[in-house]
Amino acid sequence: MGNITFTMIKPEAVEAGNSGAILNKIEAAGFRIVAMKKVHLSEERAGSFYEVHKERPFYGELVEYMCGGPIIAAILEKENAVLDFRTLIGATNPSEAAEGTIRAEFAESLAKNAVHGSDSDENASIEADFHFSTSERF
Ligand code: CMP
């Protein structure tokens, strides 16, 4: 058993019908799906998830966008999950994302960047707990 990371397929990627292709890449890269759900976040829940960015100028835009349509949330397991997943998705800004990465292929812009990935083991655990109870993990 490896460690975990947390991801969300963001509204524009879900809306565009790219969820399946993105999940395919995630599984092909060796991640095991521990938990997964499609959910439409309320403004309050989206604001709370991104609370760490509250002081950033893009916070309002980020929250509005993330509650603008359903997302797919998932917990992923793999050795070195956090770092390997960040490599798989590429840079936050898709114009800087390496070729072959999920964001290079599917992201529209810095704000609409297709997927979220945890930035540390500690945040992976906090973010997984935010979306999933123990009985929803397999
Ligand atoms: P994510 O990995 O989900 O973590 C925070 C998100 O904020 C990030 O992906 C981007 O979607 C978004 N973000 C970061 N910087 C900016 C920015 N300058 N303008 C708009 N959105 C941003």
Q: What is the pLDDT of residues 8-27, one digit of tens each?
A: 999 999 999 999 999 999 99
Is 53 catalytic? The answer is no
Determine the 3-state secondary structure of 35 from DSSP: strand
Q: Ligand 1 centroid vs 1 CA: distance in angstroms?
A: 30
Residue 5 has pLDDT above 90, yes or no: yes
pTM (global) more than 0.75: yes
Residue 45 has pLDDT above 90, yes or no: yes
Residue 105 has pLDDT above 80, yes or no: yes
- pLDDT value of position 85: 98
Query: If you average pLDDT over residues 71-80, what whole number do you get?
Result: 98
Q: How many CB atoms lie within 10 A of CB 19?
A: 17
- pLDDT value of position 72: 98
- Which of 81, 66, 67, 79 has its CA nearest to residue 112? 66
Structural domains in the chain, CATH included, are 4-136 (3.30.70.141)
Q: What is the mean pLDDT of the chain?
A: 97
From residue 73, alpha-carbon distances to 56, 95, 98, 100, 108 in Å are 23, 24, 24, 22, 19
- pLDDT value of position 2: 74
The conformation of residue 79, written as its DSSP 8-state character, comes to T
Q: Which of 8, 58, 63, 95 to mutate to test the pocket of ligand 1 (most atoms within 8 A of CB)?
A: 58
pLDDT band at residue 1 using 50, 70 and 90 as cut-offs: low
From residue 91, alpha-carbon distances to 38, 110, 113 in Å are 24, 9, 9
Q: Ligand 1 centroid vs 134 CA: distance in angstroms?
A: 28
Q: Which two tokens stand for residue 28?
A: 């092909």
